[in-house]
Every structure is written in C-alpha cells, then in structure tokens.
Amino acid sequence: MKFLFLQCFILTILFFASTTLSSGSKNRTLSSPPSAIHFTDRAEVHIRSDLPNNTNPLYFRCQSKDTDFGMRKLNVGEEFYWKFRLQVWGRTLYFCHFYWGNRQSIFNVYDKYSVRYLCAIPGSDDLMCIWKVREEAFYVSHDNKRKDAVRVPLIGHVVVHIYSRVPNQPSTLKIHCQSKDTDFGEHFLKTDDQFYWRFVPHLTGTTLFFCQFNWGSKSKTFDVYNSTIDDICSAGVSSFASYNCFWEARPDGFYLSNDNKIWQKLNTWT
Ligand SMILES: *[C@@H]1O[C@H](CO)[C@@H](O)[C@H](O)[C@H]1NC(C)=O
Ligand SMILES: *[C@@H]1O[C@H](CO)[C@@H](O)[C@H](O)[C@H]1NC(C)=O
Ligand SMILES: *[C@@H]1O[C@H](CO)[C@@H](O)[C@H](O)[C@H]1NC(C)=O
C-alpha cells in the first residue's frame, strides 16, 4: 500500500541522508577541520509560492538527516530559503513534504544525484536551487526563468472514477457516494458519463468511500475505496505517483480497474 511506501521512503531518506552543515545550526570549527572532511561549494535552496491568489496557503516541512526546519507556511509570492555547504564525499540530501489544501507531495529538493544538475549555475561551482510551487506542478531552475525549469507534478493523490456503462432504460444510473466527512449527493449518469473525485488517503489506511447505485429496480451499496481496493488501484504504480480507481457499473455488475483497460468484477446488482 502507498502508506507503507511513504514510511519506507522517509526511513530510507533518513538512512541515506548524509551529514549536512546548515548555516548557523552547527558548531563549525573550520580552522581545524577533521582531515576526512572537505568543504567545497556553497548551495542555496529557495522555496517560493507561485500559487494563485486567494487560495489556501502553502505549508511545507523540509528536512535532512541532521536538520529539520519544522512546518512552515508561505503566502503567495513569499519564499523560504537556506544555505549550506557541500562535503566532497558527502551525500547531502534535503527533502520536503508540501501540503496545499488537500493535495500533498514529498520529494528531494536537493540531492547529489539528480537535483544537483538542475541547480548548477553556469560558470560557477556554487549551486542555486529555486523551487517554484505553482498550481499544476513544482518547477526548479538555477535562476528565476521558467524557460528551462524542470517540472515535478503534484503527486500523492488518488482519483476515483465511476462510469455508467448501463443503458439509460429502464432508468438513468443514479449514484450517491459518501465518506465519513463528505457527501457528494445524488448524481444521474447517462451511459458513458462519469463522476470522479480526488483525495489524499490518510496515512493510516482508514480512508473509505462508499456509493449507493440505483438502476431501474436494481440497487447496490458497497465500498468503492477502502484499503483492499487501494491495494488493487495502486498495484504496479511507482511510489508517490498518483493513481486511479476506475469503476464501471455494467448491466451484470461492478468492475474495477487501475488502468482503464483490464477489469475485474467485484460486485453484482441485487
Ligand atoms: C564548539 O566546539 C568547541 C571546540 O570543539 C567546544 O569547545 C565548544 O564547547 C563547542 N560549543 C558548542 C556550543 O557545542
Ligand atoms: C496576485 O496579486 C498580486 C498583488 O496583489 C499581483 O501582483 C499578482 O499579479 C496576482 N497574481 C495573479 C496570478 O493574479
Ligand atoms: C473493501 O470493499 C470491498 C467491496 O468493494 C469489500 O469486499 C472488502 O471486504 C472491503 N475491505 C475492507 C478492508 O473493508
């Protein structure tokens, strides 16, 4: 399940993250450094909110093995940044967990292996990672230009799709989907129409959505998303990508797919 991936991912990061000196947070004695440690170039990471005006603030928490900047909040146009120095043999790594409304994402904002190359300043050995958080994605570049910025999509959410694959006779399909906190109300779906919603599952695996389906004299109520369904929807999806649960209501029952191609029948009408 995704939730376990998340925990493993964080533990893995903590395990592999290297010793990193954050400016001001350590007792540095550069006059006589231990011979095994060589400091090289300076690096900066900037996190900037370019989200639309009048939307939820951006919250985020950035960490390395030794540093935790705590939960931070940015309004539109604001930025947070830190500086650090790289060790020649170190594996410096910072990752951040971002929250915006009900969307979230977690990834490395600096690592030696990939992000480093996006932050290289031409003609200099120093590094500048400017992250811009926009509505559709995250962008990183060494300067403020978006032209050569690299895009990281907002990830970590699940989309549940409900399709009507029944005729509109004897009646249009009626669905009513709910969770503990959310009631989407009644919707009528003509043949091939869909109703969908997206959400970020609770890390504990307790998220549950159920729907009542009515078609002519037939009806059925069952969970369209729970931990069992999540296992099916997330199968084969790489960690931290978003994924889909596709449901089709057909005349002979209810089918689930995670790729909109291969279907399995999980329920029948009563
Ligand atoms: C900083 O390091 C020096 C030399 O190792 C030590 O004497 C001093 O107590 C340290 N200060 C702190 C705040 O750890
Ligand atoms: C947001 O508001 C600021 C000033 O209030 C304005 O300069 C900026 O263009 C606005 N951004 C968008 C995307 O509308
Ligand atoms: C999840 O829902 C399905 C029906 O769609 C059900 O068969 C299964 O037992 C449920 N799993 C849990 C853990 O409740």
For the segment 153-166, what is each residue's pLDDT rounded down to a tens digit? 554 578 899 999 99
- What pLDDT does 33 receive? 42
Residue with CA nearest ligand 1 atom 2 = 27
Q: Whose CA is nearest to atom 4 of ligand 2?
A: 53
pLDDT digits (tens, 9 = 90+) for 132-155: 998 877 888 888 775 556 666 554
CATH class in words for 16-22+38-153:
mainly beta
- Structure tokens of 136? 């559709």
Pick the CATH number of 158-265 from 2.40.50, 1.20.1440, 1.10.287, 2.60.40: 2.60.40
The DSSP 8-state label assigned to residue 120 in this structure reads B
Q: Are strands 209-215 and 194-199 parallel, antiparallel or unpaired?
A: unpaired
Q: Are 156 and 137 in contact (CB under 8 A)?
A: no
Pocket, ligand 1, Cβ cutoff 6 A: 27, 29
User: Which pLDDT value is given to residue 39?
Assistant: 52
Query: Ligand nearest 230 Cα, by number?
Result: 3
Residue ranges covered by each domain of the chain: 16-22+38-153, 158-265
Would you say the CB of residue 53 lies under 6 angstroms from ligand 2? yes
Ligand 1, atom 1: nearest CA belongs to which residue? 27
Residues 72-114 pLDDT 10s: 999 999 999 999 988 766 678 898 988 887 777 777 888 876 6
Residue 269's pLDDT band (cuts 50, 70, 90): very high
Q: Which ligand is nearest to the CA of 29?
A: 1
Tokens 């009563």 correspond to 270
Q: In what order do the strands lie in the sheet with 79-87?
A: 21-22, 79-87, 39-49, 127-133, 137-141, 150-153
Check for a shared fold between 16-22+38-153 and 158-265.
yes
Distance separating alpha carbons of residues 201 and 3, to the nearest angstrom:
8
Spatial distance between the Cα atoms of 250 and 253, rounded to a whole number of angstroms: 5
Give strand pairing partners of 103: 100
- Mean pLDDT across the stretch 218-229? 95
Record the pTM.
0.47
Q: Does residue 57 have a cis bond before it (omega within 30 degrees)?
A: no
Q: Is 183 helix (H, G, I), strand (E, B) or coil?
A: strand
Per-residue pLDDT tens for 20-71? 333 334 434 444 444 444 456 789 999 999 998 888 889 999 998 889 999 9
Going 227 to 57 to 114 to 30, the CA torsion angle's sign is: negative
Q: Is 228 in the pocket of ligand 3 (CB under 6 A)?
A: yes
The two tokens of residue 245 are: 């649960």
Identify the pLDDT of residue 131: 92
Q: What is the pLDDT of residue 204?
A: 56
57 in helix, strand or coil?
Answer: coil
Q: Who has greater pLDDT, 3 or 193?
A: 193
Q: What is the pLDDT of residue 61?
A: 93
Q: How many whole angstroms separate alpha carbon 57 and alpha carbon 54?
A: 9
- H or E segment to which residue 127 belongs: strand 127-133
Looking at residue 152, what is its pLDDT?
60
Ligand found nearest the CA of 75: 2
Q: Which residues, listed in sequence order, are joined to residue 97 by a DSSP beta bridge?
A: 61, 106
How much is the pLDDT for 267? 97
Check residue 181 and give its pLDDT.
83
Quick: pLDDT tens for 170-216. 999 999 999 988 899 999 999 999 999 988 776 456 789 999 999 99
Please check the confidence at residue 17 and state whether its pLDDT lies above 90: no
